[in-house]
């Protein structure tokens, strides 16, 4: 397996006051706790505010993000980005492919359609050991990676908005 490489982006665009919604699929509670802890640590370190919404599974994450975005807009408190967290472990049926592909597709559609900085931290793995390796902050920290991606995209969006 190739070693993970985290790009160090030099963008220091001000993200003061940034706020994101984390939507987490609560299918594997303990794995989800680890993913959420990684995301929260990165957001706290960057000074980004967040709300957490829990849903039953990965397929419910994209519509919950859309619902949260719409509710925030109606309340005059838009989110600057979103983070999707969850875990899909391969089973004995084709269901794994449906859930992993369709949740990812819906997140990409949502992000592009709404110009939404979105970090996809829905991990798709063959077994529980792989899930733990990706979830733990002391290992691959995919929750933290999703938060870092969202933060980077918020910076890009703010920087480009000033240039145009």
CATH number at residue 139: 3.40.50.960
- Domain assignment of residue 76, yes or no: yes
Domain count, the chain: 1
- Domain assignment of residue 12, yes or no: no
56-86 in b/e form (b: 16+ CB < 10 A) is ebbbbbbebbbebbeebeeeeeebbbbbbbb
- Domain assignment of residue 1, yes or no: no
- Domain assignment of residue 126, yes or no: yes
Q: Does the pLDDT of residue 160 top 70, yes or no?
A: yes
Q: How much is the pLDDT for 163?
A: 81
- Domain assignment of residue 3, yes or no: no
Q: How much is the pLDDT for 50?
A: 98
The catalytic residues are 95
Q: How much is the pLDDT for 38?
A: 97
The average pLDDT across 77-105 equals 94
Q: How confident is the model at residue 23 (pLDDT cuts 50, 70, 90)?
A: very high
Please state the length of the chain. Answer: 164
> What are the counts of helices (DSSP H) followed by strands (DSSP E) for the chain?
5, 4
- Domain assignment of residue 8, yes or no: no
Q: Does the pLDDT of residue 4 top 90, yes or no?
A: no
Instruction: Give the structural domain span for 69.
Output: 19-163
**Cα separations in angstroms, 26 against 18, 72, 117, 123, 129:** 25, 22, 22, 13, 18
- Domain assignment of residue 109, yes or no: yes
């Amino acid at each position: 397996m190739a070693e993970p490489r985290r790009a160090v982006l030099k963008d220091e665009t001000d993200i003061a006051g940034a706020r994101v919604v984390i939507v987490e699929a609560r299918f594997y509670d303990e794995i989800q706790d680890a993913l959420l802890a990684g995301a929260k640590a990165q957001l706290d370190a960057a000074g980004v505010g967040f709300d957490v919404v829990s849903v039953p599974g990965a397929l419910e994450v994209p519509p919950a993000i859309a619902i949260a975005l719409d509710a925030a807009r109606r309340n005059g408190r838009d989110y600057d980005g979103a983070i999707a967290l969850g875990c899909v472990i391969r089973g004995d049926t084709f269901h794994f492919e449906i859930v992993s592909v369709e949740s990812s597709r819906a997140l990409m559609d949502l992000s592009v359609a709404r110009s939404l900085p979105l970090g996809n931290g829905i991990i798709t793995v063959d077994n529980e050991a792989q899930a733990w390796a990706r979830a733990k902050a002391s290992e691959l920290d995919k929750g933290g990676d999703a938060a870092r991606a969202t933060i980077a995209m918020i910076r890009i969006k703010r920087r480009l908005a000033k240039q145009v």
